[in-house]
């Protein structure tokens, strides 16, 4: 019996990857994550707008006041490094040197631009793969879905053209024709598709009339959307598939694999229960597989996908209506 | 010999040598020397090393006095040490300088010679500080130029090691320290050739060490001290020879020849000027010009001023010399002459006595004073001095460079006299500080310096405003080294980077015939001509100006560059001037952008490069018509309603023509009128706040946070609205206390800086469109005229009677008239809202002692000042003494007031039978705890005065002169954290250790803001600051807790952005407390690295995260059995990380060293939690009240 898997060409000892987030951003954690069974690490995302904003903030906040008053030509020491990827790359190098499992860099952006050069720098710093987080808020009425998709494909093509390491694309679920776009990404050379980005939660302060933002841990309930996505693509794309969001238990891993995932990314569960939770999940997956007489994940991968499930209609709207009717009848 | 040419300023030139030959550097920031210390610190932190392969140990001390002490110790322990200072800082070092010299310790200090504060402070250059060190035993070596600052630095370090006499190497503050110039650099090998290793070993041999113990610093008695003092004479005798031989060695290495006293001019000169410092270069240039015209003139440049070697000086003078003018850049009132003059007279007299003179006739020596506080010293003035020497009976003592119409000391000069050769190119650039003009011009000088064979010089003049500062860049290029140490007087290229300047500054006055005028103007270039004032059009026609126009702001906006137009204008300069081929120039500009802004990141570089590409394509040459077409003239700078002094003096200074004011225009003792800022309408804001009365909840928060008192609130009776301008807004007052009155929030459109603080704190939103608040920013230009009228009307509405203000909280306080307005502080300043509040609460009986720093600059830097008066003519009386002594200075106010009060009470008691017992008793005993009681006391004083008028006695006259002291005065000692935590802490501690009634307001920006953001002991853990580039590794000193320990001191920590009510409460309680009070006020600052519009929100986060505690420790609560400490904040509910990540000063550490940042975060978070725990426990402690017993065991207060 084996848990081994291959994810975008990277052989992994098991499918459990610690996803992009604070856990992998802290160097002090990474060895423990490896020891507890993490098959790979995705480093936190380097955000395009963060870098640009910080550069401009420093420029406008410091340089506006420099050389304008006789007693001070500046108001802060010159920084040792510009806002940019240096610290990130250094972290990547240190993590890479500290662990034996694959280390995946992550880049978050929405427009083609100079920041793509950071992808190359991540490769040079030793990243085994890159996770490209393509995010679009879908709130700009002037931007058509076709244009959004065109830009994303352009980014992927640009990055693929520069890099030799595999490139995964992490997507939000907000696409009109998700499966079609996923196939286009596949055709453009994506080595993996990671489903799906979790959004910050927003809320309203109805007295102060402000939008509140917060980050919450995911729950297994969020797995549902990912299972649908992966099940729709399994067997239809060359790219590996990964699930991120809602992976908490051994059963979540089993389900994800059955939907067709090659890897499962987890963050919230490890943040909540600690690194040892990885070991627990993996032990339970093994026990479940033995109990249910599965020899490998490959055997079960995709058996519940659209292509192979006996009743694909169960994924569709029709089944929802019937289920709802039953519930009403029960009520 | 290949030359290493570099383009640097004088500070860098000196520091680059000092760093390489030093092992220990103790520093303290002071203008204009600070950049030397900053550079050394930066080099050390980047791993640069000295000649011996290690980075010098660098330590910032708490004052220059502290630095001198540390240096003295370092020297005793055998290190090669150095420091950098000026002015008051140098004075603080003097005690140790005597010791260092007395112990013959090899040591070099580099001094940017700066004016000493007398009737006023000045940051600019003269020799008054250096001259105050003549008696210390230091050798004084002077550099006249940037090249010399480099070379003489090396000579000084080498000479002190060989001679054991410590050296003070000096050059003129600003004129040399800040002039950017192309020079030949000394290599490490050059320095090694000059520095004697044997001398280093000998210095180390003399070090205090337990391995070879000796004793220094003995106390000696009359039997031996005198002889021992004379024992060092031979070392001083040897020093000039050592310096001379090192100069010879330097000449062999570099080809640059120097001597102790250097003569230039006609070998048979009859008239000679003796001078030192940058003025010598101007004099040299003038002498060459005059000699070429056949005049027999010359100059002697004094380099080694101490020890003064008479024989060499006499030899430097041609035997043909008939008359000598000695020019001093200092003033010694009451002396028979200024110091260099006295030295020359003495030298000549001694030479005559010793028969060393070879003069054909004994020269007549006259004395001139010039250049105080960087006053311009031009070739025309040099010429005037030579002309004076030509006279048969020249003035024995004169001044040059001013018009002295009082004691008539001044020589007149011909301003049209010029010496600049035709092949020297000159340019003037008028810009705003914020638009980056100076930075770009520094880069232009470097490009020209590096990429052409031309020599280049840049000098930059700033006004003293921290927001909307005007800068003038003076650039010269020449095929020869440039000696012109004076401003450009005739420019071939004049650039105006801000269109509004055409109505404020007569820029073309300095344009040469045929010059280029480049103007940044919005809109259609062809229409710009018609927007110029008549005077300017006339000048352009008369001078045949070539006129170029570019809409730089449009291009900057297009590229997302905000108001940064510097690289656009720089590109235009190169494009028009042809200093370099266009393509080559653009390539170099981009390279310099990469170098300058690479530290900010590729996006910043990209945007800057983008505008460079756009610039030339949008540059237009506009034909200058044959005739003037403008119908308008340049408007007057100040209103015709301004007082006479403002019209005749302040306005001239505002126009940049203060040099023209004669001596008679000025008060004799530095006393200056208040309330002048209101006449300087600067119109800085592109957008101003606009009030929506319908949305407003009348909380007055906008008024409280405004740093410039440019948005105000008033309540008034409805009839007062009669005659209101059409657009004046008013609404009914909502709350109960002034029911029936009307309410207005009004902006001062021409005084607002557009900082947005008011908008960001405004809590009132349109519920149907929350984006729209009660205050919203809108473009200023279309609103200016109407709002100007509205504001005038608003100011003339009656003020609320102070006694009528019902709730004196953060809202009610804003109905009190601010008596601090429109200062030159930064837009969004975090300090000035506190000062404004202070003047609102107590302004009509307020004395302020202000430590030197930001608050003294925006509080007292001419031409205009923000402290003002109310309609009764009362207002804050303000003074600045020094940086280090402010607590003591303000304490002195209280001593005087207490003395006056004791005297006046005694007089009232003596005169009680005449003035009435009841009145006398009330005058002495009446409470003055609130506005109504103070008003009542003022009225009693009026009654007293009327009664005294009828009493004929000496006591009555004394009582009249002191009567106003019966009204309680409020003494505030104001300053920044550099003063309170560092340089002035000893004094502050002593003052609070007394029980005198003084109030201390610490405007805590957590760095030395005024000198450029150097760390203080208030700098928090993990913050990057100058001298703590890798993040401060020690937490902020808890000044409040230290003060709390006394028990009798009222202490509060406040942050107006977090809790305005608590701020106002603290100010009122502190003032009410009849003992020492200390308020430590969180002041956001540009040095923190974020948008100041978010200042209030960041203050709130500081408090919510526990970084900045809010509390009030009130000893008055002790007798009531209450805990004296009242916590005004709760357990930390936000993360310190969120606070720190909002500010670049912390984030730079995260970028540079994430692990170190993480450590800082954890420690800061823990510190915030621990701090709360400690304060929470302290807040629970009640202490038994101390009951003072008299000798009989009773309470002495009982008898009253």
A286 CB within 8 Å of a chain B CB: no
At B274, is the secondary structure helix, strand, or coil?
Answer: strand
The DSSP line for B784-816 is HHHHHHHHHHHHHSPPPPGGG----STTGGGGS
- Write the CB contacts of B1115 (distance below 8 Å, at least 6 apart in sequence): B1047, B1048, B1049, B1050, B1073, B1075, B1124
Instruction: Report, as an integer, the average pLDDT of B119-143.
Output: 98
Q: Say if the Cβ atoms of B770 and A210 lie within 8 Å.
A: yes
Name the domain count of chain B: 7
Q: Which long-range contacts (CB under 8 A, 24 or more apart) does B390-396 make?
A: B390/B271, B394/B323, B394/B325, B394/B364, B394/B366, B395/B366, B396/B366, B396/B367
Q: What span, in angstroms and rounded, lies between the C-alpha atoms of B206 and B198? A: 12
Q: Is residue B1188 part of a domain?
A: no
Q: Say if the Cβ atoms of B433 and A62 lie within 8 Å.
A: no
Q: Is residue B845 part of a domain?
A: no
Inform me whether the pLDDT recorded for B1152 exceeds 90: no
Instruction: Report, as an integer, the average pLDDT of A220-238.
Output: 96
Last residue of a domain, one of B253, B280, B296: B253
Q: What tokens does B350 get?
A: 């001694």
CA distances from B324 to A145, B575, B764 (A): 87, 48, 74
**Residues B54 and B198 grouped into a single domain:** yes
Inform me whether the pLDDT recorded for B1190 exceeds 60: no
Q: Is residue B858 part of a domain?
A: no
Beta strands at B57-60 and B620-622: parallel, antiparallel or unpaired: unpaired
Are the CB atoms for A110 and A136 separated by under 8 Å? Answer: yes
* Cβ-based contacts of A114 with chain B (< 8 Å): 602-603, 606
Inform me whether the pLDDT recorded for B1198 exceeds 80: no
> What pLDDT, on a 0 to 100 scale, did the predictor assign at position B594?
93
* pLDDT tens-digit readout, A270-302: 999 999 999 999 999 999 999 999 999 999 999
Q: Say if the Cβ atoms of B1144 and A76 lie within 8 Å.
A: yes
Give the CATH number of the domain where residue B773 resides.
3.30.70.20
* pLDDT tens-digit readout, B326-359: 999 999 999 999 999 999 999 999 999 999 988 9
Q: Is residue B198 part of a domain?
A: yes
Q: Say if the Cβ atoms of B1147 and A54 lie within 8 Å.
A: yes
Q: What span, in angstroms and rounded, lies between the C-alpha atoms of B1090 and B865? A: 28
**Residues B351 and B433 grouped into a single domain:** no
CA nearest to B492, candidates B414, B436, B576, B380 = B576
CA distances from B674 to A26, A243, B140, B531 (A): 57, 71, 41, 36
Q: Is the dihedral of CA B769, B770, B775, B777 positive or negative?
A: negative
**Residues B737 and B815 grouped into a single domain:** yes
* Cβ-based contacts of A83 with chain B (< 8 Å): 600-601, 1147, 1151
CA of B952 to nearest chain A CA: how many angstroms apart?
Answer: 55
Q: Is the dihedral of CA B45, B51, B54, B56 positive or negative?
A: negative
Q: Which long-range contacts (CB under 8 A, 24 or more apart) does B48-57 make?
A: B48/B19, B50/B19, B50/B20, B50/B21, B50/B22, B50/B23, B51/B20, B51/B21, B51/B188, B51/B191, B51/B192, B51/B195, B52/B23, B54/B23, B56/B19, B56/B22, B56/B23, B56/B24, B56/B25, B57/B23, B57/B24, B57/B25
Q: What span, in angstroms and rounded, lies between the C-alpha atoms of B74 and B1104? A: 44
CA nearest to B1145, candidates B1094, B1084, B1103, B1093 = B1084
Inform me whether the pLDDT recorded for B1194 exceeds 70: no
* Best of A49, A51, A55, A77 to mutate (most B CBs within 10 Å, chain B): A77
* Cβ-based contacts of A81 with chain B (< 8 Å): 599, 1151-1152
Q: Say if the Cβ atoms of A69 and B433 lie within 8 Å.
A: yes
CA of A115 to nearest chain B CA: how many angstroms apart?
Answer: 9
* pLDDT tens-digit readout, B445-501: 999 999 999 999 999 999 889 988 899 999 999 999 999 999 999 999 999 999 999
**Residues B688 and B819 grouped into a single domain:** yes
Q: Is residue B844 part of a domain?
A: no
Q: Residue A230's CB: how many other CB atoms inside 10 A?
A: 30
**Residues B154 and B134 grouped into a single domain:** yes
Catalytic site includes residue B281? no
CATH topology of domain A5-330: TIM Barrel (3.20.20)
Inform me whether the pLDDT recorded for B1200 exceeds 60: no
Q: Say if the Cβ atoms of B1010 and A71 lie within 8 Å.
A: yes
Searching chain A, which residue's CA lies closest to the CA of residue B1027? A77
- Write the CB contacts of B1088 (distance below 8 Å, at least 6 apart in sequence): B1005, B1006, B1098, B1143, B1144, B1145
Q: Say if the Cβ atoms of A62 and B599 lie within 8 Å.
A: no
* Cβ-based contacts of B1150 with chain A (< 8 Å): 87
* pLDDT tens-digit readout, B522-571: 999 999 999 999 999 999 999 999 999 999 999 999 999 988 999 999 99
> What pLDDT, on a 0 to 100 scale, did the predictor assign at position B926?
96
State the residue for tokens 């709207």: A317
* pLDDT tens-digit readout, A132-169: 998 877 788 998 999 999 999 999 999 999 899 999 99
Q: Is residue B866 part of a domain?
A: no
CA of B438 to nearest chain A CA: how many angstroms apart?
Answer: 6
Instruction: Report, as an integer, the average pLDDT of B738-746.
Output: 97
Q: What tokens does B569 get?
A: 């204008």
At B244, is the secondary structure helix, strand, or coil?
Answer: helix
Give the CATH number of the domain where residue B660 resides.
4.10.780.10
Q: What tokens does B576 get?
A: 């028009």
Inform me whether the pLDDT recorded for B1173 exceeds 80: yes
* Best of A30, A68, A82, A113 to mutate (most B CBs within 10 Å, chain B): A68
**Residues B714 and B663 grouped into a single domain:** no
A86 CB within 8 Å of a chain B CB: yes
CA of B1085 to nearest chain A CA: how many angstroms apart?
Answer: 10
Beta strands at A240-244 and A210-214: parallel, antiparallel or unpaired: unpaired
Helix then strand then coil, % of chain B, to nearest 5 = 45, 15, 40
> What pLDDT, on a 0 to 100 scale, did the predictor assign at position A331?
35
State the residue for tokens 């090659």: A262
Q: What span, in angstroms and rounded, lies between the C-alpha atoms of B326 and B1048? A: 58
Say if residue A318 is exposed, middle or buried (CB neighbours under 10 Å; 0-12, 13-18, 19+).
exposed
Q: Which of B7, B82, B83, B114 is catalytic?
A: B114
* pLDDT tens-digit readout, B603-644: 899 999 999 999 999 999 999 999 999 999 999 999 999 999
* pLDDT tens-digit readout, B212-267: 999 999 999 999 999 999 999 999 999 999 999 999 999 999 999 999 999 999 99
Instruction: Report, as an integer, the average pLDDT of B888-915.
Output: 98
CA nearest to B780, candidates B807, B741, B748 = B748
> What pLDDT, on a 0 to 100 scale, did the predictor assign at position B1031?
95
Q: Which of B464, B601, B1009 shows the shortest C-beta gap to A82? A: B601
> What pLDDT, on a 0 to 100 scale, did the predictor assign at position B1153?
87
Q: Which of B34, B439, B1086 shows the shortest C-beta gap to A61? A: B1086
> ∠B734-B739-B745 over CA atoms, to 5°?
50
Q: What tokens does B1055 get?
A: 């942050």
CA of B1008 to nearest chain A CA: how many angstroms apart?
Answer: 9
Prediction ipTM score: 0.92
Question: Mean pLDDT across chain A, nearest whole number?
Answer: 90
Q: What would you report as the CA-atom Rg of chain B, rounded to the nearest whole angstrom? A: 32
Q: Say if the Cβ atoms of B1152 and A79 lie within 8 Å.
A: yes
Searching chain A, which residue's CA lies closest to the CA of residue B827? A65
**Residues B156 and B192 grouped into a single domain:** yes
* pLDDT tens-digit readout, A314-326: 777 655 555 555 5
Are the CB atoms for B303 and B345 separated by under 8 Å? Answer: no
CA of A23 to nearest chain B CA: how many angstroms apart?
Answer: 14
Interface of A with B in 135-154 (CB under 8 A): none
Give the CATH number of the domain where residue B390 resides.
3.40.50.920
Q: Say if the Cβ atoms of A64 and B1024 lie within 8 Å.
A: no
Catalytic site includes residue B115? no
Q: Say if the Cβ atoms of B564 and A64 lie within 8 Å.
A: yes
Searching chain A, which residue's CA lies closest to the CA of residue B562? A60
**Residues B404 and B455 grouped into a single domain:** no
Q: What would you report as the CA-atom Rg of chain A, rounded to the nearest whole angstrom? A: 22
pLDDT band of residue B2 (cuts 50, 70, 90) is low
Q: Say if the Cβ atoms of B601 and A58 lie within 8 Å.
A: yes
* pLDDT tens-digit readout, B764-823: 999 999 999 999 999 999 999 999 999 999 999 999 999 888 889 999 999 999 999 999
Q: Is residue B777 part of a domain?
A: yes
Catalytic site includes residue B114? yes
A6 or A309, higher pLDDT: A6
Inform me whether the pLDDT recorded for B1139 exceeds 60: yes
Q: Residue B932's CB: how many other CB atoms inside 10 A?
A: 15
3-state secondary structure A92-140: HHHHHHHCCCCEEEEEEECCCCHHHHHHHHHHHCCCCEEEEEECCCCCC
Are the CB atoms for B361 and B352 separated by under 8 Å? Answer: no
**Could you tell me the residue ranges of all domains in chain A?**
5-330
Q: What tokens does B633 get?
A: 């003239």
- Write the CB contacts of B535 (distance below 8 Å, at least 6 apart in sequence): B506, B633, B634
* pLDDT tens-digit readout, B190-221: 999 999 999 999 999 999 999 999 999 999 99
A206 CB within 8 Å of a chain B CB: no
* Cβ-based contacts of B1148 with chain A (< 8 Å): 76, 79-80
Inform me whether the pLDDT recorded for B429 exceeds 90: yes
Q: Which of B11, B567, B760, B1010 is catalytic?
A: B1010
> What pLDDT, on a 0 to 100 scale, did the predictor assign at position B609?
95
CA distances from B499 to B165, B553, B698, B919, B1056 (A): 55, 11, 38, 63, 37
Q: Say if the Cβ atoms of A74 and B1013 lie within 8 Å.
A: yes
Inform me whether the pLDDT recorded for A238 exceeds 50: yes
- Write the CB contacts of B1192 (distance below 8 Å, at least 6 apart in sequence): none
* Best of A70, A91, A205 to mutate (most B CBs within 10 Å, chain B): A70
Q: Say if the Cβ atoms of B597 and A52 lie within 8 Å.
A: no
Phi, psi angles (nearest 5°) of residue B841: -75, -40
Inform me whether the pLDDT recorded for A329 exceeds 50: no
Q: What span, in angstroms and rounded, lies between the C-alpha atoms of A279 and A37? A: 6
Q: Which of A57, A81, A210 shows the shortest C-beta gap to B1090? A: A57
Instruction: Report, as an integer, the average pLDDT of B1095-1121.
Output: 97
A61 CB within 8 Å of a chain B CB: yes
B1106: left (phi over 0), alpha (psi -120 to 50) or beta: left
Chain pair A-B, CB pairs under 8 angstroms = 174
- Write the CB contacts of A140 (distance below 8 Å, at least 6 apart in sequence): none
Instruction: Supply the range of the domain harboring residue B492.
Output: 425-622
Q: Say if the Cβ atoms of A84 and B1147 lie within 8 Å.
A: no
**Residues B105 and B57 grouped into a single domain:** yes
Q: Is residue B852 part of a domain?
A: no
CA of B435 to nearest chain A CA: how many angstroms apart?
Answer: 7
Are the CB atoms for B302 and B329 separated by under 8 Å? Answer: no
């Amino acid at each position: 019996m084996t848990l081994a898997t291959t994810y975008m060409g990277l052989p992994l000892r098991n499918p459990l990857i610690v996803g992009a987030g604070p856990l992998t951003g802290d160097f002090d954690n990474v060895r423990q994550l490896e020891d507890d069974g993490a098959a790979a690490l995705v480093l936190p995302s380097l955000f395009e707008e963060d870098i640009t904003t910080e550069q401009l903030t420093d420029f406008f906040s410091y340089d506006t006041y420099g050389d304008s008053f006789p007693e001070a030509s500046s108001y802060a020491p010159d920084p040792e490094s510009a806002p940019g990827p240096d610290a990130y790359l250094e972290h990547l190098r240190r993590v890479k040197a500290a662990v034996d499992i694959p280390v995946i860099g992550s880049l978050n952006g929405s427009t083609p631009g100079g920041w793509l050069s950071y992808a190359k720098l991540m490769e040079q710093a030793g990243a085994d793969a890159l996770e490209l987080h393509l995010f679009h808020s879908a709130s700009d009425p002037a931007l058509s879905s076709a244009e959004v998709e065109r830009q994303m494909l352009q980014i992927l093509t640009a990055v693929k053209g520069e890099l030799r390491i595999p490139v995964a694309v992490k997507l939000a679920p907000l696409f009109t024709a998700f499966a079609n776009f996923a196939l286009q990404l596949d055709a453009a050379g994506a080595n993996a598709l990671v489903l799906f980005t979790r959004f910050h939660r927003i809320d309203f302060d109805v007295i102060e009339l402000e939008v509140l933002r917060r980050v919450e841990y995911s729950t297994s309930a969020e797995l549902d959307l990912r299972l649908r996505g992966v099940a729709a693509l399994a067997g239809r794309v060359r790219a590996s598939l990964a699930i991120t969001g809602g992976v908490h238990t051994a059963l979540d891993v089993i389900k994800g694999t059955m939907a067709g995932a090659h890897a499962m990314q987890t963050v919230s569960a490890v943040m909540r229960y600690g690194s040892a939770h990885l070991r627990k999940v993996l032990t339970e997956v093994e026990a479940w597989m033995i109990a249910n007489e599965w020899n490998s994940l490959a055997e079960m991968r995709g058996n519940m996908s659209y292509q192979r499930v006996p009743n694909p209609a169960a994924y569709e709207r029709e089944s929802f209506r019937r289920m709802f009717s039953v519930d009403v009848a029960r009520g | 010999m290949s030359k290493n040419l570099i383009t640097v300023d004088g500070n860098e030139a000196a520091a680059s040598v000092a760093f390489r030959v030093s092992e220990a550097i103790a520093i303290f920031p002071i203008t204009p020397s600070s950049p030397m210390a900053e550079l050394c610190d930066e080099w050390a932190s980047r791993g640069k090393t000295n000649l011996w392969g290690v980075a010098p140990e660098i330590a910032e001390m708490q004052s220059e006095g502290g630095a001198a002490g540390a240096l003295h110790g370092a020297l005793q322990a055998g290190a090669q040490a150095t420091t950098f200072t000026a002015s008051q800082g140098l004075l603080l070092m003097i005690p140790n300088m005597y010791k260092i010299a007395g112990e013959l310790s090899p040591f070099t200090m580099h001094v940017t010679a700066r004016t000493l504060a007398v009737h006023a402070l000045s940051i600019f250059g003269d020799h008054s500080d250096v001259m105050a060190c003549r008696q210390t035993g230091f050798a004084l070596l002077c550099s006249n130029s940037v090249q010399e600052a480099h070379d003489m630095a090396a000579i000084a370090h080498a000479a002190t090691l060989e001679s054991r006499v410590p050296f003070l190497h000096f050059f003129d503050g600003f004129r040399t320290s800040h002039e950017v110039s192309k020079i030949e650099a000394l290599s490490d090998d050059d320095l090694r050739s000059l520095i004697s290793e044997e001398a280093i070993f000998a210095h180390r041999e003399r070090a205090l060490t337990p391995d070879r113990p000796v004793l220094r610093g003995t106390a000696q008695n009359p039997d031996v001290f005198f002889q021992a003092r004379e024992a060092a004479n031979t070392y001083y005798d040897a020093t000039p020879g050592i310096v001379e031989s090192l100069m010879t060695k330097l000449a062999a290495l570099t080809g640059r020849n120097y001597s102790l006293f250097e003569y230039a001019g006609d070998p048979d000169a009859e008239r000679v000027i003796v001078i030192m410092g940058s003025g010598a270069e101007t004099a040299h240039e003038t002498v060459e010009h005059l000699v070429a015209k056949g005049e027999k003139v010359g100059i002697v440049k004094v380099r080694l001023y101490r020890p003064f070697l008479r024989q060499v000086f006499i030899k430097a003078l041609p035997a043909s010399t008939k008359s000598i003018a000695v020019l001093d850049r200092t003033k010694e009132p009451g002396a028979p002459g200024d110091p260099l003059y006295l030295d020359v007279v003495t030298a000549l007299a001694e030479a005559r006595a010793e028969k060393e003179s070879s003069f054909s006739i004994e020269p007549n020596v006259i004395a001139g004073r010039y250049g105080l506080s960087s006053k311009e010293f031009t070739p025309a003035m040099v010429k005037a001095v030579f002309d004076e020497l030509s006279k048969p009976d020249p003035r024995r003592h004169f001044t040059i460079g001013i018009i002295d119409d009082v004691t008539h000391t001044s020589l007149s000069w011909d301003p049209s006299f010029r010496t600049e050769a035709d092949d020297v190119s000159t340019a003037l650039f008028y810009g705003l500080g914020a638009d980056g003009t100076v930075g770009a011009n520094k880069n232009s000088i470097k490009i020209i310096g590096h990429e052409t064979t031309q020599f280049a010089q840049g000098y930059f003049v700033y006004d003293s405003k921290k927001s909307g500062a005007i800068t003038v860049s003076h650039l010269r290029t020449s095929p020869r080294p440039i000696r012109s140490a004076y401003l450009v007087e005739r420019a071939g290229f004049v650039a105006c980077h801000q269109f509004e300047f055409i109505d404020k500054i007569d820029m073309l006055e300095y344009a040469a015939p045929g010059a280029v005028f480049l103007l940044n103007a919005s809109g259609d270039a062809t229409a710009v001509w018609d927007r110029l004032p008549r005077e300017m059009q006339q000048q352009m026609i008369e001078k045949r100006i070539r006129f170029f126009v570019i809409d730089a702001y449009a291009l900057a906006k297009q590229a997302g560059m905000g108001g940064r137009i510097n690289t656009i204008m720089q590109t235009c300069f190169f494009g028009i001037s042809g200093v370099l081929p266009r393509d080559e120039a653009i390539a170099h500009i981009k390279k310099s952008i990469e170098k300058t802004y690479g530290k900010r990141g590729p996006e910043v570089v990209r945007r800057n490069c983008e505008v460079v590409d756009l610039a030339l394509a949008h540059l237009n040459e506009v034909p200058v018509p044959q005739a003037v077409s403008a119908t308008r003239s340049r408007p007057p700078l100040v209103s015709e309603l301004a007082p006479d002094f403002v019209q005749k003096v302040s306005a001239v200074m505002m126009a940049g023509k203060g040099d023209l004011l004669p001596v008679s225009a000025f008060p004799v003792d530095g006393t200056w009128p208040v309330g002048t800022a209101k006449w300087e309408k600067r119109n800085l804001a592109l957008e101003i706040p606009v009030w929506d009365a319908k949305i407003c909840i009348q909380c007055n928060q906008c008024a409280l946070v405004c740093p410039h008192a440019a948005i105000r609130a008033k309540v008034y009776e409805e009839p007062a609205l009669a005659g209101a301008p059409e657009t004046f807004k008013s609404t009914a007052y909502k709350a109960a206390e002034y029911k029936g009155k009307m309410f207005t929030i009004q902006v001062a459109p021409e005084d607002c800086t557009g900082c947005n603080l008011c908008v960001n704190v405004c809590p009132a939103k349109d519920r149907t469109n929350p984006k729209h608040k009660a205050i919203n920013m809108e473009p200023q230009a279309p609103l200016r005229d109407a709002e100007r009228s509205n504001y005038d009307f608003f100011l003339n509405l009656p003020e609320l009677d102070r006694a009528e203000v019902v709730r004196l909280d953060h809202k009610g306080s804003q109905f009190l008239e601010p008596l601090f307005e429109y200062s030159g502080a930064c837009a969004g300043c975090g300090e000035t809202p506190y000062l404004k509040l202070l003047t609102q609460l107590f302004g009509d009986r307020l004395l302020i002692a202000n430590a030197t720093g930001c608050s003294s600059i925006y509080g007292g830097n001419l031409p205009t000042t923000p402290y003002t008066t109310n309609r009764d003519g009362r207002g804050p009386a303000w003074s600045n003494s020094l940086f280090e002594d402010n607590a003591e200075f303000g304490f002195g106010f209280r001593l005087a007031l207490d003395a006056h009060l004791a005297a006046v009470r005694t007089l009232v008691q003596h005169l009680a039978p005449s003035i009435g017992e009841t009145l006398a008793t009330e005058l002495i005993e009446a409470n003055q705890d609130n506005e109504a009681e103070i008003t009542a006391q003022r009225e009693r004083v009026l009654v007293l005065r009327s009664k005294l008028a009828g009493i004929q006695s000496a006591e009555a006259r004394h009582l009249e002169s002191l009567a106003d002291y019966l009204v309680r005065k409020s003494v505030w000692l104001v300053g920044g954290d550099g003063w309170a935590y560092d340089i002035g802490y000893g004094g502050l501690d002593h003052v609070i250790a007394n029980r005198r009634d003084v109030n201390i307001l610490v405007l805590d920006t957590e760095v030395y803001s005024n000198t450029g953001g150097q760390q203080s002991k208030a700098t928090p853990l993990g913050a990057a600051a100058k001298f703590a580039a890798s993040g401060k590794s020690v937490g902020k000193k808890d000044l409040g807790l230290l003060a709390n320990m006394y028990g009798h001191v009222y202490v509060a920590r406040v942050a107006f952005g977090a809790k305005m009510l608590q701020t106002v409460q603290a100010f009122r309680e502190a003032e009410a407390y009849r003992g020492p009070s200390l308020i430590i006020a969180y002041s956001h600052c540009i040095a923190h690295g974020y948008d100041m519009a978010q200042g209030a929100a960041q203050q709130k986060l500081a408090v919510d995260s526990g970084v900045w505690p809010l509390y009030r420790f009130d000893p008055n609560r002790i007798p009531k059995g209450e805990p004296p400490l009242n916590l005004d904040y709760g357990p930390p509910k936000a993360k310190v990380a969120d606070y720190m990540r909002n500010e670049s000063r912390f984030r730079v550490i995260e970028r540079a060293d994430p692990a170190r940042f993480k450590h800082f975060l954890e420690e800061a978070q823990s510190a915030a939690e621990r701090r709360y725990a400690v304060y929470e426990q302290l807040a629970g402690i009640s202490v038994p009240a101390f009951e003072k017993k008299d000798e009989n065991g009773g309470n002495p207060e009982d008898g009253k």
